[in-house]
Every structure is written in structure tokens, then in C-alpha cells.
């Protein structure tokens, strides 16, 4: 079965929620919408306190290219525009909307189209206006990916159905229940970038998802292949998946389009289909609420902006002593300080871990066991990088390619000395970028 080099095999823990159909969560009375929910630039509000907004209305946007607008997930009144805690820790205000009892009306940014009547440029515009970002967790604006730089051609759209993070099953359920939308969305994206081929990669631990997507893929005569890939972390990393499916390597510092590929997550593809065929903006997404700390794990279809606490309550509340509340999975997820943080576009899961699983252990000396080296999917030597980061040897960190680190956390997972390797690398990457910027300036002078 296709895969990449090295990586790790953590327990996937998906059995808690894998078989549970997507259930619509109760519509929240109040939503909190941070003005930045994507990589890139934050939005400016288009509404002010006191304004009435209707579901689907665009309420914030930005003139910057790498950005995505935000739409009202519920109809109601804007009550506040101020800072609220958010999982990404962007220091940025949120728009708060409180539901009014007026009858919900849905605003559509566009109308219903069929794929055939749309030109590539139109598709890109629809997707931008729908506020689409990568729903796998990185939240990179989708329309930016679709704007292929001049001089490069994209021949393949890679659809990422790996969901390699343990515990999370939201993509899994989307694949089982919305396979047709995924294929349609992928075709829209392919048309937007002028790619002839669509390859969907699904980890081998999701056979029902593979069958469902493959069934829909076969309906499209030619151009779509659905492939099972090895269940291994981080198979869903963009670079790892391109290697596995296309046997191409994204150059260090480059983008997938450098090797003729655009990668999008299955949920993003499904959302793209809704935007294109129904004119629906991105205002809800599937979130897996799971972990040993939750009574009844579920896959919920959630309005963006819903506070975590409401969803935890709808899953029967917590069990045991919850010590980590995580947005995302256990490998790359973000630990949040309060259950009041809202679901954002990037929230694939809410994971509750108790004191039974989470052990706070002091960092020990590196014993040079080499496990990190054997786990790194990029081929880095994390033990040396950590040493450089600790001693502030940024040039050393640069020479040993710290910039190529994808922060997947394999090294930190296997490290027997419990060294917080990813944390060191984040530090080192920032320092290296500054160092290189300073060098560049020095040369220019």
C-alpha cells in the first residue's frame, strides 16, 4: 500500500465516534466569530454593533489576497465587536451575534449553478466569496490555492481523506455521508485550476469511506481515482500524501503547485460543492466531539461560532478529570484555556483528555536513542535541532533544515526523554526567519 518514509503508528482511537452519523447540533443562541479564522490576513467587520444580520450574510472581509470573508451563521443582531478568547490565540476582536426570534432567512451570496456553465475564474470567485478555507485544520484560504502562479501548471487535484490524527472522525463521516459532494467539489476545484486528474487518498482504516467515495468516483467516467493509503501518521500531511499518491516531492520551501498538484481536504471539497451548486457560504462544519473525557462522543454539524461548552453539553457532558481541552487532534491540536472558545472554520474536533492520559513529565536529557530521527517524515534530525534551539545556535538550526519541519509532532510523540521538540522547533523557525531577514537586509545595504 502506498505511503511515505518513516512516520509513526499511534493508536487511532477512532472507534468512539467512527460509526456515529453526523447529527445537526442545536442552533446556538449566540455565536462568537473571530475576525481571523484562516492563515493569512484578518478581516475587517462589514457590520456594526446593533445591525441586524441574516444567516449567510457576509459580515467581514478583507482586501488582502490571502484572506477569506466571514459569514453570519445565524440570523440575529450584532451585539458586540470585541476581543474574546479564541483557540488560535490571534489577538483579534470577534463579532458576536445573538439570535433574534425573527424568522430565519438565509442569504445566499450566489445562486445555483451547474459545473458546466462556470468558467474557472468564476469558480475561484465563488469559492472566495463563500469564505472557503482548508477544513483539515490549517485553514489556508482555498481560493489562494486555486490561483496557480504564472508559469506553473497543475495536472492533479489531490483530495485528502486520510484524517491521520487519532480520535478525529469528522472527515470520515463526511466521506461516508457526502461522497457525491466531495467528488463534485473536487471536480469544481479541478476545473478551477485546469487539472485533468483527481486523486482521492483515504487511509486504510476507513474502508466504508473508501467504498462510498470510490462508488461516487466511478460514476464520473475517467479522471477520478480513489486510492487507499497506509494508515500511518502523518499520512494526511500535504507533502506526505503527494509523495504517496503521485510519487512527487514538493521542493523544500515550495508549494504543491511546484509539482503540479493542489491538495484539499475532503470536507473542503464538499463545502466547495455546496458553494458552487447551492451558493452556500461556509457557516457550518462537521466537528467530532470526542476523547476519554466526554460522555457521548459524536460527530456534530455545527454552526461556526458555537462555543465549545454548548457542544460538550450536547454530548452528555464530561467524565473524569478533564485536564486538556484541545481543538483538533492529539498530535497537532491546540490546547485551549476555556470551554468558551468558539468553533472556527479550522475546528475539526474538540478533544477532551483526562488526567488518566495526560502525564506532565519533566524534560529529561536527550539519550540519543534516535527514535525521533527514525520517525521524522521529512528526514530531519530532531535531536540535533533541539540542541541548536536550546543553545540559540540558529545558524546550526538553519543548516539542519529546521525550516522544513512540518510540526507534525512525531518526534515529540516518540521521545522517551519527553523533550518538547516541536516547541523548540517553532522557536527556532521564528528565530531563523528573523536571522535570514536580517542577513538579507545587511546585504541590501
Partner 1 sequence: MPINENNLIIQNGPHLRDAADAKSLMRWFAVSLIFPVAAGTFFFGFQALLLVAVTAVSAVAAEAAFQRLAKQKVTIDDGSALITGVLLALVLPPTFPLWMAAVGAVFSVVVVKCLFGGLGFNIFNPALAGRAFLMASWPVAMTLWTRPFDSVTTASPLYLARIGENVPGYLDLFLGNRAGSLGETSILMILLAAAFLVWKKVIDWPAPVAFIGTVFLLSFTLGHDPLFHLLTGGVIFGAVFMVTDYVTVPVTTKGRLIFGFGCGLITVLIRFFGGFPEGVNYSILLMNIMTPVIDKYSRPRIYGEKNAKKS
- Footprint on residues 312-371 left by partner 1 (CB under 8 A): 312, 317-326, 330-339, 351-353, 357-361, 364-370
339 three-state secondary structure: coil
Report which of 221, 238, 10 is spatially closest to residue 138, judged by C-alpha positions: 238
| Residues 160 to 199 in contact with partner 1, rule: CB under 8 A | 166
DSSP codes, 3-24: --SS-B-----GGGTTTSPPEE
Query: Which grid cell sits at 137?
Result: 485544520
With contact defined as beta carbons under 8 Å apart, do 154 and 148 qualify? yes
What distance in Å separates the CA atoms of residue 345 and residue 33, rounded to the nearest whole number? Answer: 10
H-helix or E-strand spanning residue 122: helix 120-129
251 binds partner 1 (CB under 8 A): yes
With contact defined as beta carbons under 8 Å apart, do 200 and 184 qualify? no
What distance in Å separates the CA atoms of residue 358 and residue 418, rounded to the nearest whole number? Answer: 12
234 binds partner 1 (CB under 8 A): no
111 binds partner 1 (CB under 8 A): no
Residue 372 marked ligand-binding? yes
Rg of the chain (C-alpha set): 22
386 binds partner 1 (CB under 8 A): no
Tell me how far, at minimum, the Cβ of 238 lies from partner 1, in Å: 11
What distance in Å separates the CA atoms of residue 33 and residue 81, rounded to the nearest whole number? Answer: 9
Tell me how far, at minimum, the Cβ of 344 lies from partner 1, in Å: 17
Q: What track of x and - describes contact with partner 1 for positions 401 through 440 (by CB under 8 A)?
A: x--x----x--xxxxxxx-x-xx--x--------------
Residue 415 marked ligand-binding? yes
132 binds partner 1 (CB under 8 A): no
Tell me how far, at minimum, the Cβ of 402 lies from partner 1, in Å: 11
Tell me how far, at minimum, the Cβ of 445 lies from partner 1, in Å: 20
Tell me how far, at minimum, the Cβ of 269 lies from partner 1, in Å: 25
Residue 369 marked ligand-binding? yes
Looking at 377, 386, 388, 429, which residue binds partner 1 (CB under 8 A)?
A: 377
What distance in Å separates the CA atoms of residue 235 and residue 243, rounded to the nearest whole number? Answer: 10
Tell me how far, at minimum, the Cβ of 411 lies from partner 1, in Å: 9
| Segment interacting with partner 1, rule: CB under 8 A, options 64-72, 148-156, 262-270, 400-408 | 400-408
292 binds partner 1 (CB under 8 A): no
Count the site residues for partner 1 by CB under 8 A: 74
What distance in Å separates the CA atoms of residue 130 and residue 252, rounded to the nearest whole number? Answer: 31
Looking at 239, 303, 345, 429, which residue binds partner 1 (CB under 8 A)?
A: 239
Query: Measured at the alpha carbon of residue 130, what is the angle toward residues 125 and 133, in degrees to the nearest 5?
Result: 95
What distance in Å separates the CA atoms of residue 336 and residue 321, rounded to the nearest whole number? Answer: 16
Q: Which residues are annotated as a binding site for [4Fe-4S] cluster?
A: 366, 369, 372, 376, 405, 408, 411, 415
Amino acid at each position: 500500500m502506498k505511503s511515505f518514509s518513516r512516520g509513526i503508528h499511534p493508536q487511532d482511537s477512532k472507534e468512539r465516534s467512527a460509526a456515529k452519523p453526523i447529527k445537526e447540533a442545536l442552533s446556538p443562541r449566540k455565536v462568537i466569530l473571530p475576525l481571523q479564522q484562516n492563515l493569512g490576513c484578518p478581516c475587517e467587520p462589514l457590520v456594526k454593533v446593533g445591525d441586524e444580520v441574516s444567516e449567510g450574510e457576509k459580515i467581514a472581509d478583507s482586501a488582502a489576497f490571502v484572506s477569506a470573508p466571514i459569514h453570519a451563521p445565524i440570523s440575529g443582531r450584532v451585539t458586540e465587536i470585541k476581543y474574546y478568547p479564541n483557540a488560535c490565540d490571534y489577538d483579534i476582536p470577534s463579532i458576536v451575534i445573538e439570535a433574534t426570534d425573527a424568522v430565519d432567512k438565509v442569504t445566499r451570496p450566489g445562486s445555483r449553478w451547474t459545473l458546466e456553465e462556470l468558467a474557472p475564474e468564476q469558480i475561484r470567485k465563488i469559492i472566495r466569496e463563500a469564505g472557503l478555507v482548508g477544513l483539515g485544520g490549517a485553514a489556508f484560504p482555498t481560493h489562494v490555492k486555486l490561483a496557480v502562479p504564472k508559469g506553473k501548471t497543475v495536472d492533479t487535484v489531490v483530495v485528502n481523506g486520510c484524517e491521520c490524527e487519532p480520535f478525529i472522525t469528522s472527515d470520515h463521516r463526511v466521506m461516508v455521508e457526502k461522497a457525491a459532494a466531495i467528488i463534485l467539489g473536487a471536480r469544481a476545484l479541478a476545473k478551477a485550476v485546469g487539472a485533468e486528474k483527481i486523486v482521492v487518498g483515504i487511509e486504510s482504516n476507513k474502508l466504508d469511506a473508501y467504498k462510498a467515495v470510490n462508488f461516487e468516483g466511478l460514476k464520473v467516467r475517467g479522471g477520478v481515482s480513489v486510492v487507499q493509503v497506509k494508515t500511518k501518521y502523518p499520512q494526511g500531511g500535504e507533502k506526505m500524501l503527494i509523495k504517496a499518491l503521485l510519487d512527487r516531492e514538493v521542493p523544500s520551501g515550495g508549494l504543491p503547485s511546484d509539482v503540479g498538484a493542489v491538495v484539499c481536504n475532503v470536507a473542503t471539497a464538499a463545502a466547495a460543492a455546496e458553494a458552487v451548486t447551492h451558493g452556500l457560504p461556509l457557516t457550518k462544519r462537521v466537528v467530532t466531539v470526542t476523547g476519554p473525557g466526554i460522555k457521548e462522543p459524536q460527530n456534530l454539524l455545527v454552526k461556526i461560532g458555537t462555543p465549545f461548552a454548548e457542544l460538550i453539553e450536547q454530548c452528555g457532558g464530561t467524565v473524569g478529570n478533564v485536564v486538556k481541552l484541545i481543538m483538533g487532534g492529539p498530535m497537532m491540536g491546540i490546547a485551549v484555556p476555556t470551554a468558551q472558545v468558539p468553533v472556527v472554520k479550522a475546528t475539526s474536533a474538540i478533544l477532551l483528555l483526562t488526567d488518566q492520559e495526560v502525564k506532565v513529565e519533566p524534560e529529561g536529557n536527550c539519550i540519543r536513542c534516535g527514535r525521533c530521527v527514525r520517525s521524522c517524515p521529512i528526514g530531519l534530525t530532531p535531536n540535533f535541532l533541539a540542541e541548536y534551539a536550546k543553545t540559540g545556535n540558529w545558524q546550526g538550526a538553519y543548516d539542519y533544515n529546521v525550516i522544513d519541519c512540518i510540526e507534525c509532532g512525531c518526534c515529540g510523540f516518540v521521545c522517551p526523554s519527553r523533550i518538547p521538540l516541536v516547541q523548540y522547533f517553532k522557536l527556532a523557525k521564528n528565530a531563523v526567519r528573523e536571522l535570514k531577514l536580517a542577513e538579507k537586509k545587511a546585504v541590501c545595504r
